[in-house]
Structure formats: structure tokens, C-alpha cells
């Protein structure tokens, strides 16, 4: 989980791209750290990849199944700011009006929708 989003963000950070308001130091960096892949390695893999499948193959060949499963379990259950809703409001003020959103994956999806209306 999160790999396609991370590929897009890193691709946007390459020459000619535009990262816009996104950052790599958040969940993308956390994912890479948990998988034991450096940002430099990942960036090189994205830059030379012909498709997202190439990057996925790089990640599979660079990690163990347990590491990938650990990341997937972590991110699918993660709440923004580790569950501290007040801190999450600082980053996502609109979240006050969305008590139905609890998981970070849902919050990021809505944040994208709000950012890129």
C-alpha cells in the first residue's frame, strides 16, 4: 500500500516534474525506512523505470515479504498524527467537519480531493 502514491511523488520530484504541495519526508519516507530502502535508491529506481510494475519489482527484490506485510498492516490501520485528532486538525482543518474519516488513507484521499478540486 502507498507505493503508487510514492512513485508519483518521487516522479514529480525529478527534473521537469512539479511536486507541488506534496512532500516526500512524510509517509513515503516512513514507508522507505520500514522497507529498508533509501530515498536515493528509490528515486533511481523510479527514474529508470518504464512502468510502475518496474518499481514494484525493484521493491519486491529489495525487501522481504515480512517487511512489506509489516508496512501494509501499519499503514492500513494508521490514524492521522497517530490518533491525535487535535494535531490532525492542524494539518487538515476540514477534518473537523468529517468525523467519519478515521484512517490516514481515507484522510489523504479526501485531502487530495480538497487540494485539487
Report CA torsion sign: 63, 67, 44, 11.
Answer: positive
For residue 64, the SS3 value is coil
Write down the pTM of the prediction: 0.87
The angle, 0 to 180 degrees and rounded to 10, between the axes of the packed helices 104-115 and 65-77 is: 70
What tens digit of pLDDT does each residue of 69-80 get? Answer: 999 999 999 999
**Average of per-residue pLDDT values in the chain:** 95
Amino acid at each position: 500500500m502507498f507505493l503508487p502514491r510514492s512513485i508519483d511523488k518521487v516522479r514529480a520530484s525529478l527534473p521537469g516534474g512539479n511536486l507541488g504541495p506534496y512532500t516526500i519526508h512524510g509517509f513515503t519516507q516512513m514507508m522507505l525506512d520500514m522497507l529498508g530502502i533509501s530515498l536515493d535508491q528509490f528515486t533511481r529506481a523510479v527514474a529508470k523505470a518504464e512502468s510502475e510494475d518496474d518499481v514494484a519489482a525493484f521493491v519486491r527484490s529489495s525487501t522481504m515479504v515480512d517487511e512489506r506485510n509489516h508496512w501494509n498492516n501499519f499503514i492500513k490501520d494508521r490514524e492521522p498524527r497517530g490518533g491525535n485528532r487535535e494535531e490532525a486538525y492542524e494539518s487538515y482543518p476540514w477534518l473537523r467537519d468529517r468525523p467519519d474519516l478515521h484512517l490516514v488513507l481515507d484522510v489523504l484521499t479526501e485531502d487530495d480531493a480538497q487540494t485539487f478540486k
